[in-house]
Structure 1
């Protein structure tokens, strides 16, 4: 499990990356969160790198319109 500071960073990055995504788009937000979490689990804790991972995931996130 992650420490409090890392958990706060992951949440902040998710919120920043998904700021334009409706909270109702659970699939997209979950996809982005899982990719950010996956990167962090592999040791990536740089805020900018996590943002890049999140943005890349968002561009490929499932939506109800696809």
Structure 2
């Protein structure tokens, strides 16, 4: 479990990475969130590192058209 500050950071990063993703694309957002959480669990806590993980995940996220 993460502390409140880390949880807020993760939420902010998810919102930044997914700012161009429709709220209706829940699969893509969930994929990105899970990858960010996995990285944080492994110890990645730098905002830039987490953003990069999120961007990489977004580029491989499932969409309705794939």
Scaled by the length of structure 2, what TM-score is found? Answer: 0.99
Shift of 1:54: 0.1
Shift of 1:7: 0.1
Cα distance between partner residues in 2 of 1:60 and 1:44: 20
State the partner residue of 2:6.
Answer: 6
Unpaired stretches in structure 2, ≥5 consecutive residues: none
Cα distance between partner residues in 2 of 1:44 and 1:59: 19
State the partner residue of 1:40.
Answer: 40
Scaled by the length of structure 1, what TM-score is found? Answer: 0.99
Shift of 1:59: 0.2
After superposition, the CA RMSD in angstroms is 0.2
Unpaired stretches in structure 1, ≥5 consecutive residues: none
The number of residue pairs the alignment matches comes to: 66
